[in-house]
């Protein structure tokens, strides 16, 4: 099946800093989503972005489908940005099930 790798696994930043999270995938995809899991375990959908660039406030995402990677940018980090960020993809081939990466744990220090 498709492999999804996220980097870095852990990231600790001072409040106000910017960050870039990366998601690499091993096969062609027709769906890619970025999620934020808050400390209470809830998964919040940030972007549905199989290709191109999208922006929502301080967050933006870019997916380069031909090169099989996606980037999530967080600017002017706030403590509420802390949590785990997951990338999830749906392969173009076969099983139509969303496969998750291992996540990036982001900690924002006041």
Partner 1 sequence: EADIYQTPRYLVIGTGKKITLECSQTMGHDKMYWYQQDPGMELHLIHYSYGVNSTEKGDLSSESTVSRIRTEHFPLTLESARPSHTSQYLCASSSLWSDGYTFGSGTRLTVV
Binding interface with partner 1 (CB under 8 A):
1, 30-31, 33, 35, 40-43, 45, 48, 50, 84, 86, 88, 90, 97-98, 100-103, 105
Handedness of CA 107, 46, 102, 69 (dihedral sign): negative
Other beta carbons less than 10 A from residue 108's beta carbon: 20
Nearer to partner 1, 37 or 75 (CB): 37
Q: How far apart are the first and last CA of the chain?
A: 40
Task: Give the whole-angstrom CA distance, residue 57 versus residue 42.
Answer: 20
Nearer to partner 1, 22 or 75 (CB): 22
CB of 102 to partner 1, least distance (A): 5
CB of 52 to partner 1, least distance (A): 15
């Amino acid at each position: 099946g498709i492999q999804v790798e996220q980097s870095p696994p852990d990231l600790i930043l001072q409040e106000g800093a910017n960050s870039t999270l990366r998601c690499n995938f091993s096969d062609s995809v027709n769906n890619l989503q970025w999620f934020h899991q808050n400390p209470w375990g809830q998964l919040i959908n940030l972007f549905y972005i199989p290709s191109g660039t999208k922006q929502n406030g301080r967050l933006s995402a870019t997916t380069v489908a031909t090169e099989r990677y996606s980037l999530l940018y967080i600017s002017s980090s706030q403590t509420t940005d802390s949590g785990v960020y997951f990338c999830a993809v749906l392969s173009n081939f076969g099983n139509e099930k969303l496969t998750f990466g291992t996540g990036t744990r982001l900690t924002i220090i006041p």
